[in-house]
Each structure stands twice: as C-alpha cells, then as structure tokens.
C-alpha cells in the first residue's frame, strides 16, 4: 500500500556536521548516540524526539503582525516551539493486529494558539509563553480487508495543508485559511481505510473544533484522497460538520458549523512542486442567518539543491461576514516568498518576505490596509 502522508522532519546547527546522515538529529550527529537505537527502544517499538523552533519578525508598521497569528509579535526573537514527542507507529502493512499511539507536549509562543478548551486551555493563563498537549492518542490497526486504522484520543486535524508543527511547513508564517478557516485539533475517533494503492477514505466522530468535550456535540470528520500511480499527483478532500459552542447574545449556544477543504498537488518534475487548496465554511447564527468564509491558496516550491529550496505562496481569503477574524471582516490577499536552507541534517533556516493587503483597515490595530513583514526562523531537531 502507498502511504501518502510523509511529514518532513529535519534539522539544526553547525556546518562541520553537514556530511551526517540526512535524518540525524543534533545529538546523534555530534555524539553518534541515538536513544532510539538502544535495545530497549527497539524492542518496545517506541521512538522519541524533540525539536525547537525560534524566530523573529519585522513589520512595516513596527507594532504587530496581527491578524497574522503565531508570528504576530514583531522586533523580538522568541521561542515558538519546544516540542517533545513519543510514539509507537502501528504496522499498517502486516496481517496482524497492532497497537500504537503518540503524545506531543509543546512549550512556547505557539502553544497558546494550539490549546483545546476543556483540556490544556485550562492548565495555564500565561499571556505569551504557554504549554499545550496537542496530541495524546492510541492507534489500532485491524487486518480487515486492506486494513483499518483507528485513531482514538486527541490529535491534529486532517483538514487543510499547513499544520501547527514547525518542521512540517515550508513557510514560517501561516496562511489565513490555516489560522482562521480550519480547526487545529480534534478529540474523538477517526477510522482510515486504503481501498487500493490510489484511493483511501477516512471518517469518524470528534468533539468539534479544538475541544475536549466542553459544551459541544459530536461532529462528523472525514473524507477521502486519491493519488496517481506515479504519486506525482494527489487530491484530498476533508469535511467537518456538526454543532459547536458559540458565544451569542451573552449565552453559549450550539449552532451548526460546516466546512470543507480540498487540497490538490502535482509534481511537474522531481524538483518543481505545485499545490492548490480551497476552503469553504458556514456557521449558522442564533437568528437563523449564516456567516460564510472561503479562500484559495497556491504554493509553488522548487528544490534548487538537496539543501536549498525556494517557495512562493499566494492566497485570497474572504471573511467579509466577520465569521472568523475577530472584528476584522474583510477580503484578505497575501503573498509570501521564502527559502528553506538545511545547514545540516538537524538545522534549518526559513527566511521569508510577506505582503498582506485587505479591503478594510485591519492592520496596525485598524489603521492600515496593508503591511510588509520580513521574518526568519530556525528549527533544530535534537
């Protein structure tokens, strides 16, 4: 069976170690020791890892990069993520039952954007640096047909292209669709099945958006994907629909929220990659009206060498109904150009220049209709 989701891991520090193996972390690269190669870890089937990402953003208004979140703070070098994980990946290729799971623990400025209500959102009230446990789940493989994989617990969403975890994105900053149109995490059960080498489906029930059972009802989460025989092209469709808690007229009410995301990719060559994404969502208000949000993202990346890539992202995001970007109903246009440079197997830098424009004065605390940001972060994999 083809496994279509290959997350980039990577990263960080001195060039004298540049000849080390591509997947080596800093500790293994510098000391030839890897905890994952010890007999205990190999026998248990568990692996563990740690990465750190930190960056700085400069902005044309010099005050805030909002409403672009995560790297919204300017003129300050900050630790965005210190993320520890431990996992046991299930064997989805065999003919036997298998069980695994994963736990992630995050500290840094990105953590408070990744918290779920009724869960880590109740642990700390830190204004800037915070903690989160965005994943804690059990995974079970059942050898039924081509194999059913069940994920049970708290896990990252399957919706969209960009993700919270720094090593798994090309750009330092995030698209509006990722920041506002989509959930970050879910809690519940999600089942996946590979129909054949080209088609797969998934579906399950989750406790809404970024929620662990607080004031919510079950939502459906699921969809399907197709990958070409050559694996050069793919299309993934994911949808979530159900009731979500919303503050309206001073009360918490459960209204239907439905959104879908379509992500299509194509590799023109081994080095030239293209991705297009479309999101659409609706939310029913207490008065019966509906708010909508939708957008289109496009990404082009080119691998100039095995260590250096250049990328371009262009986006249009419509939130005229003011459904997602708080008090900032507008059309948003954004364009970013950036580099990914792997100095070593464990050290990566991501410089980026980004231009944002809106048809309302939503930047610089409501005083400007556009802004330019120059940013860079570094990612170290230990």
Q: Tell me whether residue 46 is in a domain.
A: yes
Q: Which two tokens stand for residue 304?
A: 């100039």
Is residue 317 over pLDDT 80? yes
pLDDT digits (tens, 9 = 90+) for 258-277: 999 999 999 999 999 999 99
Q: What is the largest CA-CA distance in the chain?
A: 64
Q: Which percentage of the chain shows pLDDT scores above 90?
A: 80
Model pLDDT, residue 248: 65
Q: Which two tokens stand for residue 263?
A: 């992500």
Is residue 293 over pLDDT 80? yes
- Chain centre distance of CA 235: 18
* 136 compared with 1, residue with greater pLDDT: 136
Is residue 3 over pLDDT 50? no
Q: Which two tokens stand for residue 314?
A: 């262009």
- Strands 78-88, 290-303: parallel, antiparallel or unpaired by DSSP? unpaired
- Count of beta carbons in the 10 Å neighbourhood of residue 82: 20
- Count of beta carbons in the 10 Å neighbourhood of residue 125: 8
Model pLDDT, residue 6: 29
Helix intervals (H) in 193-310: none
pLDDT digits (tens, 9 = 90+) for 121-150: 777 666 689 999 999 999 999 999 999 999
User: What does the DSSP 8-state code read for residue 112?
Assistant: G
17-26, 82-91, 177-186: range with lowest mean pLDDT: 17-26
User: How many structural domains are present in the chain?
Assistant: 1
Model pLDDT, residue 128: 85
Answer whether 52's CB lies under 8 Å from 25's CB: no
- Strands 272-284, 347-358: parallel, antiparallel or unpaired by DSSP? unpaired
* 258 compared with 215, residue with greater pLDDT: 258
- Count of beta carbons in the 10 Å neighbourhood of residue 259: 24
Model pLDDT, residue 126: 64
Answer whether 364's CB lies under 8 Å from 64's CB: yes
Model pLDDT, residue 216: 72
* Residues 124, 162, 283, 134, Cα dihedral to 10°: -30
pLDDT digits (tens, 9 = 90+) for 337-358: 999 999 999 999 999 999 999 9
Q: Is 42 helix (H, G, I), strand (E, B) or coil?
A: helix
- Chain centre distance of CA 176: 12
Residue 305 burial by Cβ neighbours in a 10 Å radius (0-12, 13-18, 19+): exposed
Model pLDDT, residue 327: 76
pTM of the model: 0.90
Which runs of E-coded beta strand occur in the chain?
47-59, 78-88, 98-108, 130-142, 148-156, 185-194, 199-206, 219-227, 233-248, 251-267, 272-284, 290-303, 308-319, 330-344, 347-358, 370-381
Q: How many CA atoms lie within 13 Å of 56's alpha carbon, on the beta-carbon side?
A: 5
Model pLDDT, residue 360: 94
Model pLDDT, residue 12: 25
Q: What are the two backbone dihedrals, phi and then psi, of residue 129, each rounded to the nearest 5 degrees? A: -80, 130
Q: Which two tokens stand for residue 238?
A: 């994911």
Q: Which two tokens stand for residue 301?
A: 């990346």
Q: Per-residue pLDDT averaged across 158-181, rounded?
A: 98
Q: Tell me whether residue 10 is in a domain.
A: no
Q: Per-residue pLDDT averaged across 162-169, rounded?
A: 97
What is the CATH number for 266? 2.40.160.10
* 256 compared with 121, residue with greater pLDDT: 256
Is residue 289 over pLDDT 90? no
Report how far residue 192's alpha carbon sits from residue 186's, in angstroms, rounded to the nearest whole number.
15
Q: Which domain holds residue 344?
A: 15-381
Q: Which residues contact 249 (CB under 8 A, 6 or more apart)?
A: 286
Is residue 302 over pLDDT 70? yes
Q: Tell me whether residue 255 is in a domain.
A: yes
Answer whether 8's CB lies under 8 Å from 342's CB: no
Q: Tell me whether residue 122 is in a domain.
A: yes
Q: Per-residue pLDDT averaged across 218-247, rounded?
A: 93
Q: Tell me whether residue 4 is in a domain.
A: no
Q: Tell me whether residue 36 is in a domain.
A: yes
Task: With cut-offs at 50, 70 and 90, classify the pLDDT of residue 249.
Answer: low
Residue with tokens 């520890």: 84
Is residue 19 over pLDDT 60? no
Apex 307 CA angle, 301 and 308, nearest 5: 40
Q: Tell me whether residue 344 is in a domain.
A: yes
């Amino acid at each position: 069976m083809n496994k279509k989701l290959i997350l980039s891991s990577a990263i960080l520090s001195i060039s004298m170690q540049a000849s080390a193996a591509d997947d080596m972390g800093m500790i293994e690269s510098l000391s030839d020791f890897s905890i994952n190669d010890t007999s205990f870890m190999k026998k248990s089937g568990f692996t563990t890892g740690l990465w750190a990402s930190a960056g700085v953003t400069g902005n044309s208004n010099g005050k805030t990069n909002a409403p672009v979140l995560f790297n919204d703070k300017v003129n300050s070098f900050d630790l965005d993520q210190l993320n520890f994980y431990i996992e046991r990946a299930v064997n989805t290729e065999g003919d036997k039952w298998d069980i695994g799971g994963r736990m992630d623990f995050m500290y840094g400025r990105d953590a408070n954007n990744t918290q779920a209500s009724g869960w880590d959102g109740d642990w700390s009230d830190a204004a800037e640096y915070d903690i989160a446990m965005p994943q804690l789940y059990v995974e079970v493989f059942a050898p039924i047909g081509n194999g059913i994989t069940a994920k049970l617990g708290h896990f990252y969403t399957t919706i969209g292209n960009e993700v919270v975890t720094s090593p798994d994105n090309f750009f330092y900053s995030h698209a509006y669709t990722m920041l506002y149109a989509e959930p970050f995490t879910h809690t519940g059960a999600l089942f996946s099945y590979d129909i054949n080498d080209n088609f797969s489906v998934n579906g399950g029930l989750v406790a809404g958006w970024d929620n662990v059972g607080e004031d919510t009802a079950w939502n459906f989460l699921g969809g399907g994907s197709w990958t070409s025989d050559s694996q050069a092209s793919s299309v993934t469709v994911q949808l979530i629909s159900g009731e979500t808690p919303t503050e309206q007229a001073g009360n918490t009410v459960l209204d239907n929220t439905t959104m879908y995301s379509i992500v299509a990719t194509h590799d023109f060559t081994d080095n030239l990659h293209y991705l297009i994404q479309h999101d659409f969502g609706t939310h029913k208000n207490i008065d019966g009206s509906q708010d909508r949000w939708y957008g289109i993202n496009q990404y082009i990346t080119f691998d100039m060498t095995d260590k250096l890539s250049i990328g371009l992202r262009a986006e249009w995001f419509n939130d005229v109904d003011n459904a997602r970007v708080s008090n900032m109903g507008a059309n948003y246009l954004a364009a970013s150009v950036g580099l990914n440079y792997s100095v070593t197997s464990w050290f990566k830098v991501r410089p980026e220049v980004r231009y944002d424009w809106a048809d309302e004065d939503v930047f610089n605390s409501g005083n400007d209709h556009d802004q330019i940001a120059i940013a860079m972060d570094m990612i170290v994999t230990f």
